[in-house]
Amino acid sequence: MLFFSATRTAAIIGALALLTTAAGCGGGSETTADADVPTAATAASTSDNESASTGEVPNAHATAYTVSTQELLSNVLFDTASSTAWTLSDAAIVPSELRTGGQALNVGWMATQALAGTALVPGRSYTLIVKARADKLGGSSQISMRFRKPKYAESIRTYPVAVTATTYQDYRIDFTAPNYAAMADVVILATGARLIVDSTTLKMRSAIAQTEPITFSAGSYVPAGYTLAFNDEFTGASLKRSKWFTRYIYGGETQDHLNDEKQRYRDNNNHVVVSGVLKLVARKVRSDDPDGVNYESGMIRSDWTARYGFFEARVKMPAGRGAWPAFWLTSDVASDGRLSWPPEIDVFEFVNNGVDDRLNMLHSNVVKQTATTTSTLLYADPAFNENNTAYYAPFNFNEGWHTVGLQWDPDKVTVYVDGLKLYTRTYQWVYADGTLAAPAHIMLNLAIGGSWAGRYGIDDSAFPQALQIDWVRAYKKDS
């Protein structure tokens, strides 16, 4: 994000290489795909740049289709005639406790079934149901629907459900297949208790709704000609895990920080939903890390993806020195399995280091596409400084709620604060090689410290602190 973001994103890709090598996944050696990326982002040369990408399904999660009733799993009742459909590790076929003469699966560690490459259609929704029980209480077993990409066979989407009951239950996972769905599998993982699985089924279903009712429209500044495509109003008592992941997509969905930030993204009550507001909570958890990594925080990354539209979030910023919340878009996995950076749009970065960057400043920019292209500023409000890409507001952003919006067109982006146009600049959503990039996912996060936000230290007296999010909404342009 900004030139600092380039460094941060480079750290993601560099860590991706380390994580995948350590995991011993398949695939060839890394290749230098982005050799012309500026010095600050040199490590991004290890990104997946396997082939040009076409055929993505922008706003795919809202596409209408005819629902098929075909069963997509094999050996759903574990009969011996087709037992090879499941790969078993400390697992065995046993008599069913529910079906006379039938069979079940007793799992001590893992059972997986890989789907055919064409079984799932990107953009269509499905339901996985597994009837299972744990043989004792106290385990942390789970059933997952998992999607991976070709390079290193890293996961890009995992939809889990925990199995804790000792009586048979139908464990259900509803999901929408991502842009790349050719490497998908069902994973049954037993931890601390054996799982007895009596049956499985995976079938297509009607499209999962990506929108929910808007009951509070104050603070929204959507231009005419747009229709709601995705939103979260943060109702209920917890984060909607069906809409959001809480780690970056890189490193097999495990990447929990970027570059020299001093926090790690966790799920230790770091995503608090109360009274219609999501709080990404950062707290200090230790004082003795030699590298100063003494904090944990929260982030969200949308399962839903799109290319172009209008995006906005209503937020209230934290005030502590060293806090670094952001609202940004990066490319997801393409239809051919490619995951690469850039592109990136930083809708906002709020950096409070107490000296160079203060509570009334909001940064916003784009990460350049290729070594030979530039982003030209077409318009700037007098309060927007082109040199440091910052808006100098007549207020402090931590003192009230403010809406930051992005109008994203194929050839330009425009950013707004509370309906005020900050700037318009040219931009094309392409990879470093100039090919059209995959649709984007939405991210909001609260980072702590690092060479930018923590340049003059971190105010530990401010913790716990949070980026508060009233809602996140995305719109598609009417045709």
Model confidence pLDDT, tens digit, residues 436-475: 999 999 999 999 999 999 999 999 999 999 999 999 999 9
Q: Which whole number is the average pLDDT over 56-70?
A: 73
Give tens-digit pLDDT for 244-278. 999 999 999 999 999 999 999 999 999 999 999 99
3-state secondary structure of 394: coil
Give tens-digit pLDDT for 166-198. 999 999 999 999 999 999 999 999 999 999 999
51 pLDDT higher than 60: no
Q: What is the CATH number of domain 64-205?
A: 2.60.120.260
The percent of residues in the chain predicted with pLDDT above 70, rounded, is 85
pLDDT on residue 370: 67
For residues 27 and 315, the model is more confident at 315
CA distance 331 to 333: 7
Confidence of residue 81 (pLDDT cuts 50, 70, 90): low
52 pLDDT higher than 50: no
15 pLDDT higher than 50: no
Q: For 81-95, 126-140, 353-367, which range has the lowest pLDDT when averaged over its residues?
A: 81-95
Q: Which whole number is the average pLDDT over 86-103?
A: 95
Q: Closest by alpha carbon to 137, among 177, 98, 77, 195?
A: 195
Confidence of residue 27 (pLDDT cuts 50, 70, 90): very low
Q: Which whole number is the average pLDDT over 53-58?
A: 53
pLDDT on residue 22: 31
Strands 377-380 and 87-95: unpaired
CA distance 354 to 456: 7
pTM of the model: 0.89
Mean pLDDT for the chain overall: 88
**What's CA 268's distance to the chain center, in Å?**
18
pLDDT on residue 14: 45
CATH architecture of residue range(s) 2-56+209-477 = Sandwich (2.60)
pLDDT on residue 189: 98
Sequence-ordered list of residues with C-beta below 8 angstroms from that of 465, at least 6 positions apart, any chain: 281, 282, 318, 319, 320, 323
Confidence of residue 55 (pLDDT cuts 50, 70, 90): low
For residues 373 and 357, the model is more confident at 357
H/E stretch holding 188: strand 184-189
Q: Which whole number is the average pLDDT over 36-41?
A: 25
**What's CA 26's distance to the chain center, in Å?**
24
**What's CA 46's distance to the chain center, in Å?**
20
95 pLDDT higher than 80: yes
pLDDT on residue 4: 41
Residue intervals in the chain for CATH 2.60.120.260:
64-205
pLDDT on residue 57: 56
pLDDT on residue 82: 60
Q: Which whole number is the average pLDDT over 379-406?
A: 98
Residue intervals in the chain for CATH 2.60.120.200:
2-56+209-477
CA distance 73 to 287: 50
Q: Which whole number is the average pLDDT over 224-235?
A: 98
Give tens-digit pLDDT for 417-440. 999 999 999 999 999 999 999 999
As a dihedral over the C-alpha atoms of residue 223, residue 341, residue 230, residue 476, rounded to 10 degrees, the angle is: 40
Q: Which whole number is the average pLDDT over 294-321?
A: 98
pLDDT on residue 373: 72
Phi and psi, residue 61, nearest 5°: -70, -5
pLDDT on residue 38: 22
DSSP 8-state assignment for residue 436:
B
Q: For 127-141, 301-315, 344-358, 364-378, which range has the lowest pLDDT when averaged over its residues?
A: 364-378
Confidence of residue 371 (pLDDT cuts 50, 70, 90): low
pLDDT on residue 113: 97
**What's CA 274's distance to the chain center, in Å?**
22
CB atoms within 10 A of CB 216: 12
Q: Closest by alpha carbon to 104, among 200, 178, 23, 242?
A: 200
Q: Which two tokens stand for residue 280?
A: 């990404």
Give tens-digit pLDDT for 142-160. 999 999 999 999 999 999 9
DSSP strands (E only) in 190-285: 195-205, 226-232, 244-245, 263-265, 271-274, 277-284
